[in-house]
Structure 1
C-alpha cells in the first residue's frame, strides 16, 4: 500500500470573474522512503496541490478528490481535530519563503518548541533538549544560543534550517519541501539539498520536492511528476525522463537546460501558462507546442500508458522526436 495516494484532485477558487480551476484532476502516489519531485513553471498548481493536502487553502477554495489517503487513512473523512493529529506530525511541510513563514514576534526556539508541545506533549525540559537536538541535526552552530534568536536576526540559509528543524520535529513520515532553495545563494542551496537527502536517508521518511529547477531534480529525486496549468502531463523515473521525455512540454523544459544547449542562445518556450480567461479548448499546452495540430487545439488529450510516461498528449514523443525537440 502506498504511503500517500491522491486520485483526481481538483482545486477551484471562487473569484470575481468566476471560478478558476488551479488544479485539474491530478494524481499523486508516494511510497515509503520515496523521493518524488514535482516540477513545472509558476502557475502549474504544484504548491496548491500540496497545500490542499495540508488543508491550508483559504475558504474560497473548493477541493474535490476521488481519493486522498495517507497510510490507509482517508483524509477526506477526518474532522478538523483528527486532521491536526496527522498534519504537522506525520505529514509536514517546509514552506517556500522562510523569511515570511517564521513568525517575527517569536524566537526560533519558541516556534520549534510549540510544534513539540502541540503534537508530542513533551514537558518544558524535554522540549528544550529536543529543540537543541533538532538545530544540531540541521547544522545550526551554537544551537543553545540560536534558540533565543528572532527571525530577523537569522540569515536566509539559517532561517531555512530553522524551518527544516520545525518540519522534522515530530519525525514525520512524509515531508513536503516547497522550493526549499528559493532566494538562497548557490552554496547554501547545495547545503540545504544535501541536508534534506541526508535526513531522508537517515530517517527513512518519504520526500516530495516541489521545484522548477531540473538540475535539483536530477541530483535529488527518484521519480519526477511534471505539471502544467494544473494538470499532470508526465511522470517517469528520473533517468528515463531525462533520457526520453514523452510530453513536448517536458522535452522543452529539458532543452532549456544550459548543459544541453547546442547554440549560444538558450531555447525558450514561447507564451505563458494559461490563466483563468485564456484556457484553450483542447490540450492546454497546444498554443505553445510546435507539434500541435487541429486535433490538439480542439480535443482534450488522452493519458498515455506508463510505457509512454503517462503523458497527457495526443502525440507522445518517441526517441527520434525527442532528440529533434532538443
Structure 2
C-alpha cells in the first residue's frame, strides 16, 4: 500500500480579480522508502501542492481532492487537532529559504527542541541529548555551542542543516524537501543532497524532492513527476524519463541541460508559464510548444497510459521524435 496517495488535487486561490487555480487535478503517490522528485519551473504548483498536503495554505486557498490519504488515513476527514499530530511528526517539510524560515527571535536549539516537546513529550534532558544528536547527524561542527546560536549567526548552508535537523527530529515517515539547495553554492548543494539521501537510506523514510534542477533529479530520485502550470504533464522512472521523454515540455527541459547541448548556445523554452489571465483553452503548454497545432490550442489534452509516461499531450513524443 502506498504511504501517500493524493488523487485529483486542486488548489484555487481567491483574488480581487477572481479565482486562480494554482494546482489542477494533480495525482501523487509515494511508497515507503521511495524518493520522488517533482520538477518544473517556478509557478508550476509544486510547493503549493505539498503545502496543501501539510495544511499550511492561507485562508484564501480552497483545497479539493478525491483522495488525500497518508498511511491509510484520510487527511480530508480528520480534525485539525489530529492533523497537527501527524504534520511535523510523521510528515515533515524542509521549507525554501532557510534564512527566512527560521525564527530570528529564538536560538536554533530552542526551535529544534520545540517539536520534540510537542510531538514526543521528551523532558528537558532528553530534548537536549536528541538535539545534540541531530546536530551531529546533519554535520554541524561544535553542536553544543551551535545550539545556542541565533539564525543570523549561521551561514546559509548551516541554516539549511538546522532546517533538516528540525524536519527529521521526530523520525518522520515522509520528508518533503522544497528546493533544499536553493541559494547555496555548488559545494554546499552537493553536501546537502548527500546528507538527505544518506538520511533517507539510514531511516527508510520516503522523500519527496521538489526542485527545478534536472541534474539533482538524475543524481537523487528514483521516480520523477513533471509539473507545468499546476498540472502533472509526465511521470516516469528516472532512467526512462531521461532516455525517452514523452511530453514536449520534459524534452525541452532536458534539452536545456548543458551536458546535452549540441551547440555553443543552450536551447531555451520561449515564453513563460501562464498565469491567471493568460491561461490557454487547450493544452497549457501550447503557446510555448514547437509541435502545437489547432487541436492543442483549443482542446485540453488527454492523459496517456503509463507506458507513454502518463503524458498529458495530444501528440506524445516517441523514441525518434514526435509520435
TM-score range, shorter chain: over 0.9
- Say whether 1:303 aligns with 2:303: yes
Give the 4+ runs in structure 1 shifted more than 2 A. Answer: none
Match of 2:279 in 1: 279
- Say whether 1:133 aligns with 2:133: yes
Which ranges of structure 1 fall in alignment gaps of 5 or more residues? none
- Secondary structure, aligned partner of 1:132: helix
Aligned ranges for residues 138-217 of structure 1 at < 5 Å? 138-217=138-217
Match of 2:6 in 1: 6
Rounded to whole Å, the distance in 2 between the matches of 1:43 and 1:150 is 32
Match of 2:50 in 1: 50
Question: What do the CA deviations read for 1:158-216 (whole angstroms, capped 9, x no partner)?
Answer: 00000000000000000000000000000000000000000000000000000000000
Q: What is the aligned residue count?
A: 323
- Secondary structure, aligned partner of 2:76: helix
Rounded to whole Å, the distance in 2 between the matches of 1:145 and 1:177 is 26
CA displacement at 1:25 relative to structure 2: 0.1
Question: What do the CA deviations read for 1:249-269 (whole angstroms, capped 9, x no partner)?
Answer: 000000000000000100000
- Secondary structure, aligned partner of 1:266: coil
CA displacement at 1:315 relative to structure 2: 0.2
Which ranges of structure 2 fall in alignment gaps of 5 or more residues? none
Match of 1:262 in 2: 262
Question: What do the CA deviations read for 1:141-171 (whole angstroms, capped 9, x no partner)?
Answer: 0101100000000000000000000000000
Tell me the TM-score normalized by structure 1.
Answer: 0.99
CA displacement at 1:49 relative to structure 2: 0.3
Match of 1:114 in 2: 114
| RMSD of equivalent CA atoms | 0.8
Question: What do the CA deviations read for 1:239-293 (whole angstroms, capped 9, x no partner)?
Answer: 0000000000000000000000000100000000000000000000000000000
Tell me the TM-score normalized by structure 2.
Answer: 0.99
Question: What do the CA deviations read for 1:220-243 (whole angstroms, capped 9, x no partner)?
Answer: 000000000000000000000000
Rounded to whole Å, the distance in 1 between the matches of 2:2 and 2:114 is 30
- Secondary structure, aligned partner of 2:225: strand
